[in-house]
Amino acid sequence: MTALIIFILVLGILILAHEWGHFITAKRSGLTVEEFGFGFPPRIFSIKRGETLYSINLLPLGGFVKILGEDGTELENPKSFSSRPAGIRSLITISGVFMNFLLAAFLLVIGFYIGLPQIIDKDNEALAKNVKIQIVAVSNGSPAEKSGIKMGDVVKYLKIDSKNTTISEISTLQKNISDSKGKEITIAIQRGKKVLEINTVPRTNPPEGEGALGIALAKTGIISHTWYESVWLGIKSAFIISWEIIKGFGGLLKNLIISGKIPKDIAGPVGIAVLTNQATTLGFIYLLQLVAIISLNLAVLNLIPFPALDGGRLLFLGIEKIKGSKVNPKIENAIHSIGIVLLLALVMLITYRDIIRLK
């Protein structure tokens, strides 16, 4: 129940930040905002304040800001979306993406000031606190996955032939596992506040690119910075992560076009809920970091020029600018409606796949 509440709060913060960007920019531009909605209809609850209806809707898969005239009507009304030049409409359209980026940068600034988990090397080892050997990836079908070892687990010690070996270096763990191929060992891991002893058998002939257990390891620690360093590092990291996400999305779209299949790396609401639960188990700072990364993912996703997304709406504004006149509102609205249906269908498909994975 706690994990569910945290997930709802995280989802709510991300959606509200995005829609607040559209809302406040539209209001500052002197437009009439008819509705600020959390989730998609049917409507559950609503309250009107001034000219705006604030609503909570049944499908918690996003949100919306309904602006007067965004459907191409009310051309003569100076408070309508359609009456404003393409530049103002573009600014309102992209403001949600900007807010998601700003939220992520803000969270990362806080993280760097409090102390974020980082890979430890010779250059930063003296600054690190709570140094540990952590599992950063688990291969599908590996002995580690089958025995219940998870990404984020911290390795405490190995028990081989009733002898405990404390693990403080990755090389020590790798050597002991390599020397024990085909033989049952006990690996003690810390998950949250619990220390678990897990029995597993390292493979004698692991697949290429995987180790005997099928885990990737990293020496991590918490490193904090001064407030002014944190501001710079937070903003810089937001840009770096955004660029990596853009490259990742490019690769995913390429694979989707070539193979015609949805890549396994894509997670829907259920998958994100699982990740949120795992981050919560690891600690507040991990949750903070995850929320920042998800916020940047939403920013990049919304910039994709697909109908109904902010990027799709920007595409139509670009077409308008090139041709010198507005696209027929009926055609544009129909295309965006089809886009919404396709996106909801995709979310349902990914959600179904996420549920199947949990079984």
Q: What pLDDT, in 10s, does the model give residues 219-239?
A: 998 899 999 999 999 999 999
Amino acid 39: pLDDT: 85
CA distances from 74 to 78, 197, 329, 330 (A): 8, 67, 12, 14
Q: Estimate the crossing angle of helix 329-358 against helix 310-323, to 10 degrees.
A: 160
The one-letter amino acid code at 115 reads G
Q: What pLDDT, in 10s, does the model give residues 138-184?
A: 888 889 989 989 888 899 988 887 788 888 888 888 888 888 888 88
- The residues near 358 (Cβ < 8 Å, ≥ 6 apart) are 270, 274
Q: What pLDDT, in 10s, does the model give residues 199-219?
A: 999 998 888 888 889 899 999
Coil/strand/helix, residue 277:
helix
Amino acid 232: pLDDT: 95
- Residue whose pair of structure tokens reads 């660029």 in the numeric block: 243
Q: What's the predicted TM-score (pTM) here?
A: 0.82
- List the beta strands (DSSP E) in 106-228: 116-119, 129-138, 154-160, 163-166, 185-191, 194-200, 215-223
Amino acid 1: pLDDT: 66
What is the rounded CA–CA span in Å between residue 19 and residue 273? 21
Amino acid 104: pLDDT: 96
- Least Cα distance to 130 among 285, 279, 293 occurs for 285
Q: Known catalytic residue: 125?
A: no
Burial class (CB in 10 A: 0-12, 13-18, 19+), 6: middle
pLDDT band, very low/low/confident/very high, at 54 (cuts 50, 70, 90): very high
- Residue whose pair of structure tokens reads 């998958």 in the numeric block: 271
DSSP 127: G
The mean-pLDDT minimum among 167-176, 200-209, 277-286, 299-308 falls in 277-286
Query: pLDDT higher for 153 or 351?
Result: 153
Average pLDDT over residues 106-128: 88
DSSP assignments along 282-315, one per residue: H-HHHHHHHHHHHHHHHHHHHHS--TTSHHHHHH
Amino acid 359: pLDDT: 60
Amino acid 98: pLDDT: 95
Coil/strand/helix, residue 168:
coil
Amino acid 110: pLDDT: 96
Amino acid 299: pLDDT: 93
Q: Which residues of 314-350 are buried (b: 16+ CB within 10 A; e: fewer)?
A: bbbbeebeeeeeebeeeebeeebeebeeebeeeeeeb
User: What domains, with CATH codes, occur in the chain?
Assistant: 2-113+280-358 (no CATH), 125-223 (2.30.42.10)
Amino acid 358: pLDDT: 67
Amino acid 265: pLDDT: 63
- Total residues found in the chain within this entry: 359
DSSP 204: S
